[in-house]
Amino acid sequence: MLSDFITIHDLSTYEFNEILDLAQKMKEKPHKFRTHLQGKILAMIFQKPSLRTRVTFEVGMLQLGGEAIYLAPADIQLGTRETPYDVAKNLERWVDGIMARTFAHSIVVELAEAARIPVVNALTDLLHPCQAMADFLTLKEKKGDLARLKLAYVGDGNNVCHSLMLAGAKAGTHIAVATPKGYEPKEEIVKQAQADGRESGFSLEITHDPVAAVKEADAVYTDVWASMGQEHEKEQRAKIFAPFQVNQELMAQAKPGALFMHCLPAHRGEEVTSEVIDSPQSVVFDQAENRLHVQKAILSLLMSQKKSV
């Protein structure tokens, strides 16, 4: 039974689909779940700023009958003023769950290992599992059977790319990743995805050719070229990643009616043109909405039970 939500790699195929199915039910009939987490409190730890993560988790808890407490970077100074272990041991005495949006992935892992309450990974430099779950809910809504789809990811082999590969492995989706040389996804995540997808029909292609990746794709996904913490590399990355921009010419290589996807925020004119992100093919705001529903499902499954320690 799921006790934390740190990486999609930890999920069984059943749990992966359980989250998507519950999220769909919560989206269709939210009134049925208004008291599901009544009296529960979620502590939300932020090392990085956020629009979608803060609003969707906070609203999600309110819609489930619970409450959320926002803890800004200066409130805790995680890892400097206080260790993740000590933070976890304090919070478990006061609240019913912890959500953390951090730089180092090890911080979320340490919180989960120490806390007797559920911990949710809201983003680390290694993974962005809540986003990928929302993306696959969106794909399921728009395109149907996930096992019949090809998702092309074009850009930096970053935390979003990692979680999309892991989700694709659970769903049996064909994932094609195109990055510049030296910016491929981490080998450890590639191996996890390949191991997870052995029985699902999953296939993974990693290339340095964006056109090859996008060919016959049902959806084309990109993300910013320089993530938070990489701002000093922005100028250099802009030159290296320029051939990987998702524009109308690249989208034309995908299947007719292919979706355009982005986790947001987007840098228009860099990784994607305004013509693409504002086109009828774009589902970026559907993805953003589905963060709410997926996270409500995750919170409900975790916080309505006792964590095994």
Mean local confidence (pLDDT), 96-119? 97
pLDDT band at 232 (very low <50, low <70, confident <90, very high): confident
State yes or no: is 47 an active-site residue.
no
Catalytic residue among 52, 54, 105, 128: 128
What phi-psi label fits residue 300: left (phi over 0), alpha (psi between -120 and 50 degrees) or beta? alpha
Q: Considering the candidates 162, 237, 262, 291, report the single residue annotated as catalytic.
A: 291
* Domains 8-127+289-303 and 131-288 belong to one CATH topology: yes
**CATH code for the structural domain at 131-288:** 3.40.50.1370
Give the pLDDT band of residue 307 (cuts 50, 70, 90).
confident
Q: How many CA atoms lie within 13 A of 53 on its CB side?
A: 28
Let me know if 128 is a catalytic residue: yes
**pLDDT band, residue 129 (cuts 50/70/90):** very high
Predicted confidence (pLDDT) at residue 172 exceeds the cutoff of 90: yes
The residue among 264, 288, 7, 289 whose CA lies nearest residue 120 is 7
Tokens 């504002």 label which residue? Answer: 278
Task: Domain ranges for the chain, please list them.
Answer: 8-127+289-303, 131-288
pLDDT at position 308 is: 66
Q: Is residue 263 annotated as a catalytic residue, yes or no? A: yes
Determine the average pLDDT of the residues in 96-115: 97
According to CATH, the topology of domain 8-127+289-303 is Rossmann fold (3.40.50)
Contact 42, 95 (CB under 8 A): yes
Distance CA 14, CA 233 (A): 40
Could you report the per-residue pLDDT of 178-195, keeping only the tens digit for each? 999 999 999 999 999 999
The H-assigned helical ranges of the chain are 13-28, 52-63, 73-76, 84-91, 105-114, 129-143, 159-171, 187-196, 210-214, 234-241, 248-251, 274-277, 284-303
Token output for 171 = 């769903």
